[in-house]
Structure 1
């Protein structure tokens, strides 16, 4: 049900290309969420109770250790209804703390230039932002060590 709370534009900002709901819930995607290698990656979810008391996921954040480095890459996805509420900032703050606890050197992400919300969150939390030469993305980097 989380996927139904995401607009095509929100999905595009996260994955950098259009992704159908069926692709979001493909076998490979579900396997990645269910069989997490905690030495390499983790996911946080934000939940709320609906009016009937059922739990709904309203956001998720992922931190993946980049192979061959001591860096982690983050990704955040928030239900459209909960964007601009501080939830993305809270999830990224927690991922940063986990990165520190895990003794990562830095946390990085590639962000589309038009993803102003994510760029604002990164700047607020101290990330350095730079344009990727010849690319269509902004590189966000936060030194932890």
Structure 2
């Protein structure tokens, strides 16, 4: 399997990534990073997207239903060398389904997540996962 994207930048301004039919703008200067995500935030966004995609994927495989999920991702960065050293995520799944096995879902995310597995080779990842009854709460959009 291969992935392809195209990106471009404008000097002293901003940049964008073309993925499929969408363009995602990002900041490359201190001014543009106020409005648009910086590359580190896009990196963490890819990590979050990987986890959310796998929840959807494994809801079918594990035969559970859920109304939605929220994820918060925090990272620690060192300056010398510049790299992410620790990533912590807090995942909330909104579900009333007793078939949702959180431990098995976490194992599947860790075993089959492409971005997850790539990142864990160079960075410590820790998590908190909780399930909230979807009928009793509002899902953040």
TM tier relative to shorter chain: 0.3 to 0.5
Determine which structure has more spread, i.e. the larger CA radius of gyration: 2
Could you tell me the TM-score, scaled by structure 1's length?
A: 0.34
